[in-house]
Amino acid sequence: MNADNRIMVRVNTAKKDAFMKKVKQEGKSASEVLLELIDDYLGVSSAKKKELEELKLGLREEIKNEIKTELKQEFGGELALLKQQLLGESAA
């Protein structure tokens, strides 16, 4: 990146101080946060965002599978009985 490419923005002192405080709390630099905002605005996905999305999808799938397993364990016998009853009634 060319360090000579700059964007200057005027912002009131209170807003700047609040921004800088939050940036510091998150362990980021002001430039890093502003570049992320620009990427978001332009619709440019960062590698971090893609990675987070993949993690979220993976977690959703894991949770869904765990719930299915727990439901089968808890209600599997009841479901089998209901299925037998329904099949028996339709055969009669």
Q: How far apart are CA 64 and CA 79, in angstroms?
A: 19
Residues 6+ apart with CB under 8 A from 65: none
pLDDT of residue 80: 82
Q: Per DSSP, which regions of 1-92 are E strands? A: none
Q: How far apart are CA 48 and CA 55, in angstroms?
A: 10
pLDDT of residue 87: 87
Residues in the chain: 92
pLDDT of residue 57: 93
pLDDT of residue 92: 58
Segments of the chain scoring below 50 in pLDDT: none
pTM strictly above 0.95: no
Angstrom distances, CA of residue 48 to CA of 3, 28, 39, 54, 84: 23, 14, 12, 10, 50
